[in-house]
Amino acid sequence: MSEQRSAYDPYCELPTGKESKISPAKSDVVRAWDLPTRLFKWSLVALILTAWVSSGFNDPDMTVHKAAGYGVLILVVYRILWGVFGSSTARFSGFVRPPAAAWAYLKALWRNRAEHYLGHNPAGGLMVIGLLVACCVQVLLGFFSSDGVTAAGPFAGLVGDTGSRWVASIHAAWFYFAILVLAGLHIVANLYYQFVKREDLIGAMVTGRKRRESYVDHDEATGGSLPLAAVCLLTAFGLVYGTVTLLGGSFFGSI
């Protein structure tokens, strides 16, 4: 008996010269997040943790801390560019909504009537913007910070010793009262969706896939070219390096 493959096998090869009348079965998952967006998220997490941990290193010039800070700023600039040129779920136009829309979504969520989004929901979109702004402010504060001994940001000299130490105290406080608070809320929200709403958001940010459903924003993510992402990353690096250099800053200089 000749071996036959099931008519429902979407990978079954068609006989030469014949046209199939059978449509491939739809996958039960759809593309939600492109690879560059996922790499950005986990790289940002790694750099923030590195900056936090390295602040306690026995490193008088705080070289590792500074490198992590520059990396965070490069990623923030990259994400802004990718929010314009990235895939449909990565673009700001696809998920940034006014606060009123976020509030309406949260009220619907409380009543268990919230619509499902393939990308960020309105509240999640505001969280993304908040985290990007908070990270940018944190790095800019670091630019003008100094410990008054050896470590200093590239522009600490512009505000003097007293000013740079004052900015350094704000830099430390901002991390705990802005960055960590927002990151904590983000983690709690993801855990809520993961274990209460049974939506695999954490897995989706690893695999890039979500369960196929009737989403209100996109049926499936489109776009997200890797070469274009590389151009955006190189552009972000050039903008950060060029701006600091042109303004007379020294990347890893000390007092």
Instruction: Classify 149 as helix, strand or coil.
Output: coil
Name the residue ranges covered by the structural domains of the chain: 30-209+222-244
**pTM score, whole prediction:** 0.87
- pLDDT of amino acid 216: 95
Residue bearing tokens 């026995």? 58
Q: Which superfamily is assigned to 30-209+222-244 in CATH?
A: Transmembrane di-heme cytochromes, Chain C (1.20.950.20)
- pLDDT of amino acid 251: 76
- pLDDT of amino acid 117: 96
- pLDDT of amino acid 23: 40
Instruction: Provide the residue-wise pLDDT of the chain in tens; the chain has 255 residues.
Output: 444 444 433 333 334 444 444 444 468 999 999 999 999 999 999 999 999 999 888 888 899 999 999 999 999 999 999 999 999 999 999 999 999 999 999 999 999 999 999 999 999 999 999 999 999 999 999 999 998 777 899 999 999 999 999 999 999 999 999 999 999 999 999 999 999 999 999 999 999 999 999 999 999 999 999 999 999 999 999 999 999 999 988 777 665
- pLDDT of amino acid 255: 59
**DSSP classification of residue 11:** T
Give the CA distances from residue 5 to residues 2, 8, 9, 92, in Å, rounded to whole numbers and listed in that order: 10, 8, 7, 45
- pLDDT of amino acid 254: 65
Cα angle, residue 100 at apex, residues 94 and 105 outer, rounded to 5°? 70
Asked if residue 65 lies in contact with residue 146, where contact means CB atoms within 8 angstroms, the answer is no
